[in-house]
Structure 1
Amino acid sequence: MHMELDTLDYNILHELERDSRTKLKTLARTLRTSITTVNNRIRKLRKEGIIQAFSAKLNYEELGYTVKAVIGVSIQKQHIITFETELSRHPNVTCVYDVTGTFDSVIVTRFRSVRELDSFLKTDLVRPYITETQTFIVLNTRKEDFRIPAAGTKLKKTGMPPIHS
């Protein structure tokens, strides 16, 4: 069962996603509440598993990881969980998704060179139970944001025409 979150919980999460190093005093002032309240809420969110870690958002390109690839993988059904678990441990794999559709799994990877990616494709993705792979090298990233919107956030107009069914 999911924990019920209120506006303050969502706003704390939003602020921590923006900068996980924000001091309790600053959070309390920004959210117009007490330090004790913020501290208790964060403790509760951690205990419930909603906050799993406090981390930094890295610029992979500045670290030399200039090749990003998204790879769709078709796998014999009885091997999906084993494959995804093993692949999750690979240092160049940043995301592993169990998906519906054409592929069984979609993985996101980061490499320093196309040669490293090529080696990964020819070693780590060559298994008897993998029936197909399709690799997409990311040319540009327009948006990559895994944060939740703050409570009460209105969707901004994008200038895009509405999507009609």
Structure 2
Amino acid sequence: MSVRLDELDRKILAELQEDASRTLDEIARRVGSSKTPVWNRIRKLREAGVIGKTTAILDPDALGLEACFFVLIRTSEHEADWQQKFLATLRARPEVMEAHRLAGDIDYILKVQVANARAYDVFYQALISEVKIFNVTALLSMERIKDTTALPVWPAQTETSSDG
């Protein structure tokens, strides 16, 4: 379900995604509005579920978590019990930053952030000891080219007519 957003909503969302720690006064100034309407918009966007929790984004390198692995998983197990155990295992592992179920030859992809290859191996050994997995392929990211949590907040679609 999508929510209908106008230009001011989109500007507010863009500002919040850039830096949610800005004051309400600063956000209002940057979007060309006053504080009360911006506060009301933010409240409504939260209530509608457009804005979720507010959190701090940490630098993995500063924390010594310099190795990012993308882990491709194929499984021969597709029963509900296996899936529940697998998902519970992933949710319990703090180094799993993202997990996606895929269509195609690969069943799941994980983004795993760890200190180094040895730490990844500890993760891998724990994972395969808890759930049966047919095939695991780990790909080490050599360079983070783009890393954002900001979703595209495109301007509203406008219809154009052509004389012609």
- The alignment's TM-score, normalised by the length of structure 2, stands at 0.85
Structure 2 residue 127 is matched with structure 1 residue 124: yes
Structure 2 residue 31 is matched with structure 1 residue 28: no
Q: Deviations over 1:88-129 (max 9, x none)?
A: 221111111111122111110111121111111112134553
Cα distance in 2 for residues equivalent to 1:85 and 1:7 = 40
Match of 2:68? Answer: 68
Match of 2:78? Answer: 77
Does structure 2 conserve the Cα–Cα contact (< 8 Å) formed by 1:80 and 1:104?
A: no
Cα distance in 2 for residues equivalent to 1:34 and 1:18 = 19
Return the letter of the residue paired with 2:33.
Answer: T
Cα distance in 2 for residues equivalent to 1:10 and 1:89 = 35
Cα distance, 1:128–1:37 mapped onto 2, change above 3 Å: closer
Return the letter of the residue paired with 1:26.
Answer: E
Match of 1:158? Answer: none
RMSD across aligned positions (CA) = 1.8
Cα distance in 2 for residues equivalent to 1:5 and 1:149 = 13
Shift of 1:143: 0.9
Q: How many residues align?
A: 153
Cα distance in 1 for residues equivalent to 2:98 and 2:67 = 15
* Bigger Rg, which one: 2
Cα distance in 1 for residues equivalent to 2:16 and 2:40 = 14
Cα distance in 2 for residues equivalent to 1:22 and 1:81 = 40
Match of 1:49? Answer: 49
Does structure 2 conserve the Cα–Cα contact (< 8 Å) formed by 1:7 and 1:151?
A: no
Cα distance in 2 for residues equivalent to 1:98 and 1:81 = 13
SS of equivalent residue, structure 2 residue 134: strand
Structure 2 residue 114 is matched with structure 1 residue 133: no
Shift of 1:26: 0.6
Query: Which sections of structure 2, spanning at least 5 residues, go unmatched?
Result: 157-164
Shift of 1:34: 1.6
- Over the matched positions of the two proteins, sequence identity in percent amounts to 27
Cα distance, 1:125–1:41 mapped onto 2, change above 3 Å: farther
Return the letter of the residue paired with 1:144.
Answer: D
Cα distance in 1 for residues equivalent to 2:8 and 2:92 = 35
- The alignment's TM-score, normalised by the length of structure 1, stands at 0.84
SS of equivalent residue, structure 1 residue 124: helix
Match of 1:142? Answer: 145
SS of equivalent residue, structure 2 residue 109: strand
